[in-house]
A and B are shown apart, each in its own frame.
Chain A
Amino acid sequence: MGQQVLSISQINAYIRSKMEADPMLGSVAVRGEISNYKVYPSGHHYFTLKDENAALKCVMFRGNAQHLRFKPDNGTKVIAMGSVSVYPRDGAYQLYCTAMVMDGVGDLHAAFEQLKEKLSAQGLFDPAHKKMIPKYPGTIGIITSEAGAAVHDMLRILRKRYPLTRVRLLPVRVQGAEAPGEIVAAIRYANYYKLADLLIVGRGGGSIEDLWAFNDEGVAHAIYASEIPVISAVGHEPDVTISDYVADLRAATPSNAAELAVPDCESLMQTLDSVQSALTSNMLRRIKNARVHLQTLSGSPALQSPVRYIAQKRNTLQLLSSKLINAEQKNVGTKKQRFIALTAKLDAMSPLKVLTRGYAIAQSVDNDSPLRSVEQVNIGDMVRVLLNDGQLDATVLDRRKIR
């Protein structure tokens, strides 16, 4: 027997080279149901794809597995892409899977990626185009189903956070063939009649098919064209739709959209509290500074002796004025003129420039000495207040010691 005898390694290597030379096996897409799915600590995924009559071992290495857009599970129908080759150690062939999509939604994923790329190229996701969300929206338009839990979730949060706003609900269908058209119409209608300062467009969670209206090209353009800022609120946290990319702000969920749309009442109250205490402490500091300044001024000799000077002059003046009143035979008018002239002279001579600047000196009526403490007078006492242009005799109505 001149036949060549091969080692196991040799025959497996031969078969492997044959398979790897085959163009079809080098790039296949296989439809089947996952079973026996295992993720090894190495990060590689091992599973079997089967149909009614047959099974195929598969491996997906960590580098490829981390790009999976879903969590594969036993029973999931999938389309697996990759190459078929031999694993020499076991002498078994298997699918070296490089990518895998859920069967049936694979088309949707492809369509999503295509549309995303197209709209991105058209500039619909441009951050420069995104509008500011108003800080205190007066009216929020909610475009969603009036039947779902999402609208109630949003209203509950808006009511709790910022009941100053008003809500206008524009009910639309959010899934099915009519949904995209209704959503587009509602966005345009709200803009045409200026129904809101802010729009929330979205729905609660669902399957990728349920959320599909928000991956619609028409909806994307309507959001882009909206003059009213739009918050997109579709599904749960991991769901990302085309609407999310186009909207001025993306919310993870409808509830989250309500949180992003308005300020929080409680933190506003805290802000008001801190504004009030800032105003108060600022005011107290200013008053304290002014008082220190006043003390410095009133303690200076320039103010101290002129007070005595003006008191003396005032006595003379009082004497003169009483003489005036008593002098029946004299010409009252002349005396009065003299009185006025004297007063003017006195004022002109007064170095009390500060009085012209709005300060006042309070004196005891009894001895004309300046008051320096509230304790020098009692409620009901008369005090004399010297102002720039004259004096006031005043009764003390109230007395508060501040310091």
Chain B
Amino acid sequence: MNQVNKTFEENMQRLEQIVRAMEHGDVPLEESLKLFREGTELVQSCGKLLDEAELHVKKIATDADGRPVEEDFNDEPVG
């Protein structure tokens, strides 16, 4: 439903796995270099997602059949 957030959540989970794996000493050097590269890329992409995100706000209305439709909501900050 929200791909950006899903990607972020999955990236964070994968990062946690990588950190755990690397803190465990039994990963071969070559493998840990791969994990290091992957982890660094994930850190960068997570940071980018956070930097570029913009809050989407929609109001739920109903169509003729009572199904939900999204409408714009004027969300000008008060004051």
Contacts and interface: CB of A to CB of B under 8 A. Distances in A.
Nearest to B2: A138
B50 A265 contact: yes
B70 A165 contact: no
A198 to B, nearest CB: 12
Given A139-B2, A193-B68, A279-B18, A166 B58 contact: yes
Please tell me the size bucket of the interface on B. 35 or more
Interface in A312-334: none
B19 A279 contact: yes
Nearest to A143: B60
B57 A283 contact: no
Nearest to B74: A146
Interface in B31-72: 32-33, 35-36, 39-40, 43, 46-47, 49-50, 53-60, 67-68, 70
Which of A166, A189, A279 is most buried by chain B, counting CB atoms within 10 A of its CB? A279
A111 interface: no
A268 B47 CA distance: 9
Nearest to B9: A136
Interface residues of A, number: 42
A279 B22 contact: yes
Contacts of B5: 136-138, 164-166
Contacts of B58: 166-169
A137 B2 CA distance: 9
Contacts of B18: 279
Interface of B: 1-2, 4-6, 8-9, 12, 15, 18-19, 22-23, 29, 32-33, 35-36, 39-40, 43, 46-47, 49-50, 53-60, 67-68, 70, 73, 75, 77-78
